[in-house]
Chain A
């Protein structure tokens, strides 16, 4: 903080600086981390075991012609361009050769079993090669969303949430990690980097752990549900939302395949 003071003055200076900074520092401990608001108070300790043994599994597919998109303008930041040898395409519609649609957030929307729930695995979103990995994630209210910065670059993590308090945290190269939490349920909203406008990810906030994101092949699984009849919803950033009903029998996995197509 200071240049070398003369020996006799050093303690005075140190005291002065520390005292005056304490006033700033004092609140640092009290304020919650990030703009995500205070974490929801922990209820009674959550059960370790799932509430049931049934599961919903399936594959999300895309029906239609996959558009040819032009590569991202990564030359906007040469440091990003340097991280890739191949052109990078927008991930807004990730379809594999079996028509499996990735990055679909599937969740139980109706008749959700009563908690307390065993917690879901808290998501970790990495900023790597000027992209977010994963692109879509679900999180429970009060859980910690960890955002990593594996690039030696400035990114800023800007949430466009409308129910939860939005945040906008710059992460310079030296800052490797930031954590955020959310106070309320909210349908998937965008988290983006304003320095690299193509960088977007989406997070949905749930009060329960019954959500999943489809993998590269479009497959997903929501385990640990008690038997019963549910409505599930599938959300895609461009293609919108679709719903489906499903009845689960104890200990069995029900298969629900979903197919998105372009709106008319």
Chain B
């Protein structure tokens, strides 16, 4: 299957002229595919954000018509502009699905992983360029399926991104389309994961030993293993649930269901909890799929902009591997209140506490790396620095949720929503923005505008906290998640319902704060400040390639001779020493 890898990059000087379709649409160049992934991911992040902004209207102003666009949504979603709870549930389920599987993963893994990792390894391309292309188009098909499901007569899936059976089995909405979409997305990730692992093992440049790998590459490798090992159970579960829906099987349906007063015409005998186990067996490692590439990006940007080596590189790598391993045996901490006995709960809360230690080590190492640095506050660095305390809050708020007794009042409340959004929104998304600003010159040959970048960062930081911090307060108050009216049906939740308006206004302002980014992004492609090969004076290998890099990546053979972060080496005349040199032969 593998295309022969160009033994010498010099071959690329005279490769045949490619058609537009081969070059930009069905390309096998990892950089083009990386850009395709990134653009798709960014577009879906934006779409998922719009879904969320609509939801936030109903939370802040339940039962009031949505201004301006409410009347455009159609009578089966928002008659008279007033959002129906079914539509709210659709928005909720699809926001989660799209942000995780079509936003962050394509951008963090498909985009950055594809574009940056081969360059950092000193490889000419991915190991399986055609599989790489198929992987992207599977994702694309999954995205189209998910998007199109909004146009089904009964709407998109609305059973939460977790799609718990039996609700998802018997729901009248677009759950079937969701499952088909998920099967595409999972297939895409599996193909990508195989490719990443093979590339990292086989295509490292001469001299690139494992302990010379940039931390970002380590993060991508561990992520690829998580995807490869955790996704197959969900793919199987997805097929089973699909069968439950279309072929009247009962994999997740127990005996004797009575729906709407009528005994359900199914044989039964299935287990609703089996779905949850299979789902979370993926979905907990998936959390680390979302966060590890982000940590990788932050590590690169911090080392570069503090002008010193990462502190504790080795312990960070070992922690990362340990984290990846442990992430497979903590999944049932999402299920404490499904009726778990004390043996199971002891096991899973203990593993959960253990997994917090490597996270603490990595985060501490990143903090400590700053000590003694000479810190440059450019836009990528601001986002990377913003990541640290925000991810810190996200990680810390995981503690009470991971302890089963403390989880009782907090489970399924806004505390959970606040917790994981701190991890993935001001956490992962900030890291991804840092990555966009940082590697943009390598993609386009131009830098993004610093002023607009800062105009993007500071309001985003403020409004992110405005959206997510009040969720903790609501959660401690016991407000359940997934309530279409934001909790005003309940007296105890009504006390803190007023916070919803502040959160919603923050969310809409957060949308405004992305406008400088969008302008900056498109403006800088043509008009940004020209960047040479190495605009950030960075050490890692990708900066030895031309910007933008040609097909085949490097215009001269390279040899890696030292570790990835040789900044401010005593006795050196420059404050950075590139990791690789042109090969001597």
Contact = CB atoms under 8 A, between A and B. Distances in A.
Decide if A and B are genuine partners: yes
Contacts of B154: 35
Interface residues of A, number: 49
B261 A190 contact: yes
B202 to A, nearest CB: 42
A166 B85 CA distance: 17
Given A190-B261, A192-B261, A31 B69 contact: no
B150 A192 contact: no
B508 interface: yes
A167 B172 contact: yes
A31 B80 CA distance: 16
Given A5-B512, A17-B68, A25-B73, A172 B54 contact: no
Contact of B64 (A12, A21, A31, A174): A174
A132 to B, nearest CB: 14
Nearest to A25: B72
B50 A28 contact: no
Contacts of A43: none
Contact of A13 (B153, B172, B485, B512): B512
B122 to A, nearest CB: 40
A81 interface: no
A172 to B, nearest CB: 6
B582 interface: no
B76 interface: yes
The size bracket of the interface on B is 35 or more
Nearest to A30: B151
Contact of B172 (A9, A18, A26, A166): A166
Contact of B84 (A30, A169, A197, A200): A169
A2 interface: yes
Given A20-B46, A33-B75, A197 B511 contact: no
Contacts of B84: 169-170, 172, 175
A32 interface: yes
A247 B54 CA distance: 60
Nearest to B147: A23
B508 A2 contact: yes
A17 B261 contact: no
A27 B512 contact: no
B151 A31 contact: yes
A24 B73 contact: yes
A5 B515 CA distance: 11
Contacts of A5: 512
A21 B54 contact: yes
Given A13-B511, A13-B512, A197-B261, A27 B46 contact: no
Interface string A25-57: 111111111110100000000000000000000
A24 B150 CA distance: 7
Nearest to B50: A20
A72 to B, nearest CB: 15
Interface string B123-156: 0000000000000000000000001001111100
Contacts of B505: 3
B512 A168 contact: no
Given A12-B515, A21-B50, A172 B75 contact: no
Nearest to A13: B512
Interface in A225-252: none
A177 B76 CA distance: 12
Interface in B445-490: 484-485, 489
B86 A24 contact: no
A29 B508 CA distance: 26
Contacts of A26: 151
A32 B76 CA distance: 8
Nearest to B78: A28
Contacts of B73: 21, 24-25, 28
Contacts of A24: 72-73, 77, 150
Interface in B511-533: 511-512, 515
A3 B74 contact: no
Contacts of A177: 79
Contacts of B485: 172
B260 interface: yes
B271 interface: no
B251 to A, nearest CB: 22
The 9 A-B residue pairs with the shortest CB-CB distance in the complex, in nearest-first order = A28-B74, A25-B72, A174-B63, A27-B151, A21-B69, A2-B508, A170-B85, A20-B50, A3-B505
16 contacts: A13-B511, A23-B147, A26-B151, A28-B75, A158-B260, A160-B260, A166-B172, A169-B84, A170-B86, A172-B63, A173-B63, A174-B64, A175-B80, A190-B262, A192-B260, A192-B261
Interface of A: 1-3, 5-6, 9, 12-14, 16-18, 20-35, 37, 154, 158, 160, 165-170, 172-175, 177-178, 190, 192, 194, 197, 200
Interface of B: 46-47, 50, 53-54, 57, 62-64, 66-69, 72-77, 79-80, 82, 84-86, 147, 150-154, 172, 260-262, 484-485, 489, 505, 508-509, 511-512, 515
